Structure 1
């Protein structure tokens, strides 16, 4: 029931995802009359999709606390409960991000070894997609949080991007080791010590202008900086396409030039289209929950379902748990506390 359009996009995306992954089965939570109307245009899944009628809907204006109190009577809340109960292997929603995060965290809890879940997504670069986390779940993070994000992000990159040893870096105000907050410096020191036995390559720091270069597969930051970086990238993409459109409309000569450059411009548009990179994930929970962009179209929602499919079939949580155990086995022991002055 979430997203800017509602069931039509969700069910259309489910049908497209089913074409790509025939083993998928769907349980649709929401208002049954609207769901059945949308299923009329989706014959591939209409015959076997299970509908769970739920009258309550989480609105985009609802605060997380309000959504939690109504969780057991809303489509979003019951979809997450299905994952908790083992009735579904993943939940995908285009609804209220804050509510989805709050309900998922409360119902599924964080896995062992993870203090806080992180919101992770793909961002386009000059070379390929890069994994970026956290994108807004945690505005303030300590060194332990950042290390856990790095481990989870690397596991996500191996699962979704198919990389054997992803390159990981912290988003910072400079590439030098002494730059940045104490949390970033301490996290980098911990990763350098233990990364030799982890399936990742630690590069150190990357500045904001290096995100789009594509030299780093996983970029780790706190949710405050990560959300700003994400929104800045989205705004920059709209700026570039808008400026190009204005330039090509400026004169007859530029309009003629547009005819010759149209294939390249279409390729650029596809690369910047957020629907091609749709599907953010709350990593670190005891279950898979994927957040689709509210403005996603059918192709975008299908891509979000595809992310859920990959995380489930490749057992992302087991990968994270194994990497955390390896990290814990090789991290340096904390320094012994100094004796109090005057102690016997």
Structure 2
């Protein structure tokens, strides 16, 4: 299995990218890597060339560039060339820590959508924090690819999330929930009320109803679907709250005198486990589900550990056959719009 890597994308590129790729290469003997980037910057960082091939590029897409214009103008950028390698069958998956919009645009316009998918959804794997929960994470989409969505988009996200949970996370009959502003059936605006009815009518989904943003990390669902605007806002609010609490705890320890510092020493293993559970690098990157091949974007500030874990996530996608199963399902499925016309 070969992964096309954007070696130039991310705040810590190319060093963190190369270090993470080499760690993944050493851990997974069945993976090969094509590294797209500037050879003068990439080659000196490689410690071992085994199963690594440098693909020279002459352009880079920076974090602040307009995505669609960038991928159309910079044909020899590491993002475009890596996506093109997947499109042409020279690689099985595309990985980047670069410009999120450019990665999404390259995935949609170069790698291509699965037939039957209207809008691919950006999918994050988030931790379940409830003590004693029998699962460690859940699938969350669309976490930001589409600010606006139609009813059938969210139904499609339900199936995309279901296939990922079943095949990659190994969850049997995953519970699917709709992110909303209340748990009751009649909550939400016109769109969310209609989506509730649509999801509830799908016999192929184990739909468990609405979920509120405050319950996201409590393990009430294995798949949570939403429009991109709502999901992204809820995700950032959750992340911000977690950072604030950690800051308050740290401040309390530093300013709490000797007793607080002694307490911290006794609880240090507990804080370590909490930090590990909440560390996004543990769960890999965000996947653009609904494309013909795995396209995975990790955070721009990712270190080597995050890169390695994300590559492990890509490997699970490739070995599980989740893309092939999704293609087969949507090639046979009939999506019905509100007027009852089959598409």
Q: TM above 0.5, one fold?
A: yes
User: In the aligned structure 1, how far is the partner of 2:340 from the partner of 2:59?
Assistant: 53
Q: 2:13 corresponds to which residue?
A: 6
Q: 1:117 to 1:187 in 2, by over 3 A?
A: same
Instruction: After superposition, give the CA deviation of every residue in 1:204-263 in whole Å (9 maximum; x if it has no partner).
Output: 110111101111111100110111122112212211211111111121110011110000
Q: Higher Cα Rg: structure 1 or 2?
A: 1
How far off is 1:83 after superposition? 0.3
User: In the aligned structure 2, how far is the partner of 1:20 from the partner of 1:217?
Assistant: 28
Are 1:113 and 1:324, in contact at CA under 8 Å, matched by a contact in 2? yes
Q: 1:55 corresponds to which residue?
A: 58
Q: 1:81 corresponds to which residue?
A: 84
Q: 2:307 corresponds to which residue?
A: 301
Are 1:71 and 1:103, in contact at CA under 8 Å, matched by a contact in 2? no
Structure 2 residue corresponding to 1:160, chosen from 149, 165, 168: 168
How far off is 1:278 after superposition? 2.6
Instruction: After superposition, give the CA deviation of every residue in 1:33-86 in whole Å (9 maximum; x if it has no partner).
Output: 11111103xx2xx23311111020110111113312234210110000000000
Are 2:10 and 2:301, in contact at CA under 8 Å, matched by a contact in 1? yes
Q: 1:211 corresponds to which residue?
A: 216
Q: Secondary structure at the match of 1:26?
A: strand
Are 2:168 and 2:322, in contact at CA under 8 Å, matched by a contact in 1? no
Instruction: After superposition, give the CA deviation of every residue in 1:87-135 in whole Å (9 maximum; x if it has no partner).
Output: 0000100000011111211112211111001100111122321111001
- For residues 152-301 of structure 1, what are the structure 2 equivalents within 5 Å? 152-195=160-203, 198=204, 200-250=205-255, 251-301=257-307
Q: Give the TM-score of the pair, scaled to structure 2.
A: 0.91
Q: Number of paired residues? A: 328
RMSD over aligned CA atoms reads 1.8
Q: Does residue 19 of structure 1 match 2:20?
A: no
User: In the aligned structure 2, how far is the partner of 1:9 from the partner of 1:166?
Assistant: 35
How far off is 1:327 after superposition? 5.6
Q: 1:34 corresponds to which residue?
A: 41
Q: Secondary structure at the match of 1:92?
A: strand
Are 1:151 and 1:324, in contact at CA under 8 Å, matched by a contact in 2? no
Q: Which runs of 5+ in 2 are unaligned?
A: 1-7
- Which structure 1 residue ranges, 4+ long, deviate > 6 Å from structure 2? none
Are 1:146 and 1:187, in contact at CA under 8 Å, matched by a contact in 2? yes
Instruction: After superposition, give the CA deviation of every residue in 1:162-209 in whole Å (9 maximum; x if it has no partner).
Output: 1121111000011111111222222222222222xx2x4210110111
Q: Secondary structure at the match of 2:35?
A: strand
Q: 2:5 corresponds to which residue?
A: none
Q: 1:342 corresponds to which residue?
A: none
Q: Secondary structure at the match of 1:328?
A: coil
User: In the aligned structure 1, how far is the partner of 2:163 from the partner of 2:213?
Assistant: 23
User: In the aligned structure 2, how far is the partner of 1:333 from the partner of 1:26?
Assistant: 45
- For residues 85-104 of structure 1, what are the structure 2 equivalents within 5 Å? 85-104=88-107
Q: Secondary structure at the match of 1:257?
A: helix
User: In the aligned structure 1, how far is the partner of 2:127 from the partner of 2:308?
Assistant: 18
Are 1:280 and 1:292, in contact at CA under 8 Å, matched by a contact in 2? yes
Are 1:140 and 1:222, in contact at CA under 8 Å, matched by a contact in 2? yes
User: In the aligned structure 1, how far is the partner of 2:111 from the partner of 2:82?
Assistant: 12
How far off is 1:22 after superposition? 1.2
